[in-house]
């Protein structure tokens, strides 16, 4: 079984987001990028499957420019075998469905039978690409999974359900599983593995190599378009309550009831 991991780099979660002058994107000049935190659970899950001899090979798939290679090397140092980076000017401006088309084509070309993704990328927060890939490839899917086992051609996963519940689902591979916090604890890469990762192959594929019609992806094919970005409105200045615990507690509850009217 070949396992594919979709990996994305995102602005570090402590980034202060600033909008560019045109309101069309964020200022990325001094932004530090890191691996999408949820993708780290996917990398770890894939690595563990390889250690359990259930995965024969772990391949990283990243849609992105050369700048993303440091994040790919990090995943290779944590246990992945090789990587495919998807890069073509025609890919720019793709919406979630466009990105899913590109990734699906690449996953299919490598004959991947288990696709592991993070539950969402913490930049667009769309949580859409994994299920779209599943549909495009005709694979089973399980979303926001915090427990996963694979046995032969079958998998069992604990997925998110309504009202904070979880559901145990089983299914047959091939499948796409999106990984949630709690699935595992991602390991750190050891120094020897970091050195070894430098020699692991990263292949770059463009639209032609993937057999993708450039008109089916990118900004021109996007069904969903962000027209304007803004910063959230600031909050009105708050009030500090003074006094001993009993006094401030009574005052707060009174304010919540009579001023804020939320209780």
Footprint of another protein on 100-119 (CB under 8 A): 100
d(CA 178, CA 228): 29
Residue 166, interface with another protein (CB under 8 A)? yes
Count, residues near another protein per rule CB under 8 A? 86
Token pair listed for 149: 């086992």
Least separation in angstroms between residue 174's CB and another protein is 9
Q: Is 88 in contact with 214 (CB distance < 8 Å)?
A: yes
Locus of tokens 């309550």: 241
Least separation in angstroms between residue 38's CB and another protein is 7
Dihedral of the CA atoms 239, 245, 247, 253 (nearest 10)? Answer: 60
Residue 134, interface with another protein (CB under 8 A)? yes
Q: Please report, as residue ranges, which positions from 47 to 66 form the binding site for another protein (by CB under 8 A).
A: none
Residue 1, interface with another protein (CB under 8 A)? no
Cβ neighbourhood burial of 8 (10 Å; 0-12, 13-18, 19+): buried
Would you say 83 or 217 has its CB closer to another protein? Answer: 217
The residue range among 58-66, 76-84, 85-93, 167-175 that interacts with another protein, by the rule CB under 8 A, is: 167-175
Would you say 42 or 197 has its CB closer to another protein? Answer: 42
The residue range among 56-64, 78-86, 195-203, 222-230 that interacts with another protein, by the rule CB under 8 A, is: 222-230
Would you say 64 or 202 has its CB closer to another protein? Answer: 64
Buried b (16+ CB within 10 A) or exposed e, 195-220: eebeebebeebebeebebeeebbbee
Q: Please report, as residue ranges, which positions from 169 to 208 form the binding site for another protein (by CB under 8 A).
A: 169-172, 175, 180-182
Pairing of strands 114-118, 175-179: parallel
Residue 216, interface with another protein (CB under 8 A)? no
User: Would you call 248 helix, strand, or coil by DSSP?
Assistant: helix
Residue 130, interface with another protein (CB under 8 A)? yes
Integer CA distances (angstroms), 147 to 15, 78, 183, in order: 30, 20, 5
Other CB atoms within 10 Å distance of the CB of residue 3: 25
Q: Kindly state the helix (H) or strand (E) to which residue 57 belongs, with its residue range.
A: strand 57-63
Least separation in angstroms between residue 138's CB and another protein is 8
Q: Please report, as residue ranges, which positions from 234 to 263 form the binding site for another protein (by CB under 8 A).
A: 235-236, 238-241, 245-246, 248-250, 252-253, 255-257, 260, 262-263
Least separation in angstroms between residue 44's CB and another protein is 15
């Amino acid at each position: 079984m070949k396992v594919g991991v979709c990996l994305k780099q995102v602005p570090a979660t402590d980034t202060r987001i600033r909008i560019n002058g045109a309101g069309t994107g964020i200022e990325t000049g001094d932004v530090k990028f890191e691996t999408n935190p949820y993708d780290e659970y996917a990398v770890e899950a894939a690595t563990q499957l390889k250690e359990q001899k259930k995965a024969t090979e772990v391949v990283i798939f990243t849609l992105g420019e050369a700048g993303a290679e440091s994040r790919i090397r990090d995943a290779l140092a944590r246990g992945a075998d090789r990587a495919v980076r998807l890069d073509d000017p025609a890919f720019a401006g793709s919406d979630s469905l466009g990105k899913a088309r590109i990734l699906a084509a690449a996953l299919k070309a490598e004959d991947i039978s288990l696709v592991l993704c993070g539950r969402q990328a913490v930049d667009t927060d769309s949580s859409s690409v994994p299920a779209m890939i599943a549909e495009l490839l005709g694979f089973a899917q399980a979303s926001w999974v915090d427990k996963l086992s694979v046995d032969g051609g079958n998998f069992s996963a604990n997925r998110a359900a309504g009202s904070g519940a979880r559901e145990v689902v089983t299914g047959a591979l091939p499948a796409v599983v999106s990984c949630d916090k709690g699935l595992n604890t991602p390991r750190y890469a050891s120094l020897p593995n970091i050195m070894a990762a430098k020699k692991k192959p990263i292949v770059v594929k463009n639209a032609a190599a993937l057999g993708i019609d450039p008109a089916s992806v990118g900004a021109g094919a996007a069904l969903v378009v962000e027209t304007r970005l803004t910063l959230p409105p600031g909050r009105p200045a708050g009030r500090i309550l003074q006094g001993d615990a009993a006094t401030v507690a009574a005052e707060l509850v009174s304010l919540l009831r009579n001023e804020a009217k939320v209780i």
